[in-house]
Structure 1
Amino acid sequence: MQAEYSQRREQLMAKIGNGTAIFRSAPMAVMHNDVEYNFRQDSDFFYLTGFDEPEAVAVLAPHHTEHRFILFVRPKEREKEVWTGYRCGVEGAKEIYGADEAYPITELDEKLPQYLEKADKIYYRLGRDRNFNEKVLHHWQRLMATYPKRGTGPIAIEDAGVILHSMRLVKSQAELELMRQAAAISVEAHNYAQEIASPGRYEYEIQAEMERIFRLRGGTGVAYPSIVASGDNACILHYIENTRQMQDGDLLLIDAACAYGYYNSDITRTFPVNGKFTGEQKALYDIVLEAQKQAIAQVQPGNPYSAFHDTAVRVLTEGLVELGILQGQIDDLIKEEKYKPFYMHRTGHWLGLDVHDVGVYQHGDSPQILQPGQVLTVEPGLYIVPQTQPAEGQPAIDPRWEGIGIRIEDDVLVTETGHEILTAGVPK
């Protein structure tokens, strides 16, 4: 993978010209008192370096005569490594990760200016690390103060994500192989969950078995907190308590998946825990399934990103009218968003290093155009939340529909000729 990281850096440096780009590693997050969460590297930082340690800074300076890729890292310290694990160190940053030059992170303030003073722009994304934001701004302000004397230096700061995230949006073959592996593990876990779910079991039992498979098959853990929602809980979009005992007649909505090699999958399935739909459950499920099928058919290179969502909304709205849950002309109901009490989210999102991956969806009034290598989720749903007030002018909700929540989600790759469903191995 080092060759791929190098290629990504070269691609980015070609785009920033005479600028200097700065990327900060993710901070360590505290679970409680002095106990920290497992470290997870910042996605942009990892995408360009593959470096998986905290307290690091990557600098790309394509204009520098000697050092174009510079890493600032924690130095090797035997005493600390005994407690918290192996460190790559300064030499390893060069030998393993291909840095032209590397320094201890403690020398950042001293060494960084030499990579900024001849740049015409600093590319840096002002993030959640306020202290580091201030550090970058301080260096920029100092260089601006001396600009009249030298006539060189960065006269602006630009968000590096604008360029980098368009690169991340289109996946390489190496990235797709990692995503396929994440999908395969998640598929196995979902299929096992459908085998073992039954009335009387608790939601957390299903969660535990799925997450066991995630780790057993080499996944790095969950891609996001697992949603195992039975009964009315399926109407809570981000339900993660997973404490309820499943009852006969319940639907079980599972939105859970693993990460593998930093890349994520994202799957949702809904099924009856006793193996048989009620009439109402089946009627709503069939609408969602048809919406998903027609939406996935819209995932084609050259199509606007909005097409699959608009298709899903139309199918869902038509289905709700057929069942009498909505009344009126389809076009009017869609324009006035009368469906939103039952379908309140978008039909998908980009997927990759982040579950809700980076990349724009809209360019002004024009939606992003789908192209090969992009991966997105397609996840329509219907949620008849108990005691929901219908939209103005709409009929009262018959209680027989209440408490039914359904979502079906797959990960879909845009290909040269159409699409590939990465998660097709889970029945629906």
Structure 2
Amino acid sequence: MPPETLPRPAPIGNAEYRERRTALMAELPPDSAVLLPGASLVTRSRDSEFPFRQASDFHYLTGFPEPDALLVLLPGRSEGESVLFCQDRNPALETWTGIRLGAEGAVREHGVDDAYENSERESCLDALLDGRTTLYLLLDDPDSLTLAQAVRGRLAARARRGARPPLAFADLAPRLHARRLIKSAAELALLRHAGAVSARAHQRAMAAARPGLAEFQLQAELEHEFRWQGGSGPAYASIVGGGANACVLHYVENRAALHDGDLVLIDAGAEFDLYAGDITRTFPVNGRFSEAQRALYEVVLEAQQRALDAVRPGTTLAAIHDGVVRDLTAGLIRLGLLEGEVVARLDDESVKRFYPHSTSHWLGLDVHDVGDYRRDGEPRPLAPGMVLTVEPGLYIPADDDIPAPFRGIGIRIEDDVAVTAEGREVLTADVPKQVDEIEALMANR
């Protein structure tokens, strides 16, 4: 039987995109403008392209799905403050690549105030930006900077005829990314669904695993579920690492065989309406943890659970990470992988040999989502609407000074968490992670 299809949340509506644009413009001087290009198609090889994915910042403000678009925001413009440039209608090309919305469709379907096709971009853009003192754009994006410099150059060349080129460029990222950091109710619904789809995929991979399969075959189970549930596919390159491959943090080859007696680490998440799921689970290929695997796994699991319990408004990612480091250090001492007192090992940061990464990152339209981690040099307090991962791990090298039963074991456990007014909501809790739960699921394959 085919897998059950989960009910899908409603897409974000035009009213919310309009509210986002309006709120952003309210922060800007009245004589400024925003210049924000969308993404373009990227060639894969010769006449084929990679599947198109809209740029996250552009999507956040428009929801517009086509390549080669440009958003211009013009605070105070009486004819309409949001202007979109898009691909020209072209019946001949549309026979090959699908119907384009065109300017009329952009206004009708996506609620912008005004729209032009790209054939009119240069002349219309110059007229729209004439007299705007400051252009806000993503200064780390070469395409945005090139576009802004071209407009300023053309207007400067006509200054004697009365044109007024922009005087300065300013970075849009701090304002825009601060807004993206706090998720709306509609965004949380999409992230919750991406988490639920990702969770089903991980359960499916656990149920399918057995010695003799290849890592890519578990990857196929995961990504079939992502697509079956209406996602665009993986939110990032799926990691399926058996045995010592789990100790490579961003292992993506996924070509090796899965062996009896090894663990397999899967770090994979679905993308749904451009919002990302991000889950890691580690489990035994044969369905049963060895004594050493179980002991190390329980150290990571306890640290992760304590970290999840610590997520609440007012705390910081730095404080959560410090707690994880303490717990992992104490656990490694108990298992004989570190020696001495916990305080001494915290002081010399011995745990970094086994745990080299941070515990959390923001999650949203990007799997490593935007937003500052510090404010005025201090860790940023968590607030309702933020979404983060909690992902402690231990990666034991196959070195001579490591007790043999622990060599080459890599374990990570990761969940997606939304900060609420009361504390937190774990968006990916449907995937088993207790040892007994994992073994029971795999016993019933």
1:341 aligned to which of 353, 362, 366 = 353
What pairs up with 1:203-352 in 2 under 5 angstroms? Answer: 203-352=215-364
Secondary structure of 2:261 counterpart: coil
| CA distance in 2 between partners of 1:334 and 1:107 (Å) | 62
CA drift of 1:305 comes to 2.4
User: Which runs of 5 or more structure 1 residues have no equivalent in the other structure?
Assistant: 389-395
| CA distance in 2 between partners of 1:198 and 1:356 (Å) | 31
Residues 319 and 147 from structure 1, CA distance in 2 versus in 1: closer, same or farther, beyond 3 angstroms? farther
TM-score normalised by structure 1 residue count = 0.94
Residue in 2 aligned with 1:380? 392
1:4 aligned to which of 16, 19, 23 = 16
What pairs up with 1:29-428 in 2 under 5 angstroms? Answer: 29-130=42-143, 132-141=144-153, 143=155, 154-387=166-399, 396-428=401-433
| CA distance in 1 between partners of 2:287 and 2:281 (Å) | 14
Residues 52 and 324 from structure 1, CA distance in 2 versus in 1: closer, same or farther, beyond 3 angstroms? same
Residue in 1 aligned with 2:440? none
Residue in 1 aligned with 2:436? none
- The reply on whether 1:22 has 2:35 as its aligned counterpart is yes
User: Which runs of 5 or more structure 2 residues have no equivalent in the other structure?
Assistant: 1-12, 434-445
The one-letter code of the counterpart of 1:114 is A
Residues 146 and 338 from structure 1, CA distance in 2 versus in 1: closer, same or farther, beyond 3 angstroms? farther
Residue in 2 aligned with 1:391? none
Residues 340 and 148 from structure 1, CA distance in 2 versus in 1: closer, same or farther, beyond 3 angstroms? farther
Greater mean deviation of Cα atoms: 365-374 or 379-388:
379-388
Contact 1:144 1:155 in 2 (8 A): no
Q: Deviations over 1:217-262 (max 9, x none)?
A: 1111111111111111111111111112211111011111101111
| CA distance in 1 between partners of 2:127 and 2:399 (Å) | 64
Secondary structure of 1:412 counterpart: strand
Secondary structure of 2:305 counterpart: helix
Secondary structure of 1:339 counterpart: helix
Q: Deviations over 1:277-321 (max 9, x none)?
A: 111111110110011011111210011221211111110111111
| CA distance in 2 between partners of 1:114 and 1:342 (Å) | 58
The one-letter code of the counterpart of 2:412 is R
| CA distance in 2 between partners of 1:149 and 1:318 (Å) | 73
C-alpha RMSD over aligned residues: 1.8
Greater mean deviation of Cα atoms: 181-190 or 40-49:
181-190
| CA distance in 1 between partners of 2:360 and 2:296 (Å) | 19
Residues 338 and 199 from structure 1, CA distance in 2 versus in 1: closer, same or farther, beyond 3 angstroms? same
Residues 152 and 305 from structure 1, CA distance in 2 versus in 1: closer, same or farther, beyond 3 angstroms? farther
Contact 1:121 1:153 in 2 (8 A): no
The one-letter code of the counterpart of 2:346 is I
CA drift of 1:155 comes to 2.5
CA drift of 1:127 comes to 4.3
| CA distance in 1 between partners of 2:399 and 2:141 (Å) | 39
Secondary structure of 2:180 counterpart: helix
The one-letter code of the counterpart of 1:75 is D
Q: Deviations over 1:75-129 (max 9, x none)?
A: 1110001111110001111111122221111222211123322323110013444
Contact 2:313 2:381 in 1 (8 A): yes
| CA distance in 2 between partners of 1:114 and 1:149 (Å) | 13
Identity level (%): 47
Residues 104 and 151 from structure 1, CA distance in 2 versus in 1: closer, same or farther, beyond 3 angstroms? closer
Greater mean deviation of Cα atoms: 360-369 or 284-293:
360-369
Greater mean deviation of Cα atoms: 99-108 or 13-22:
99-108
Residues 196 and 365 from structure 1, CA distance in 2 versus in 1: closer, same or farther, beyond 3 angstroms? same
Contact 2:194 2:276 in 1 (8 A): yes
The one-letter code of the counterpart of 1:82 is T
| CA distance in 1 between partners of 2:370 and 2:356 (Å) | 22
| CA distance in 1 between partners of 2:135 and 2:266 (Å) | 44
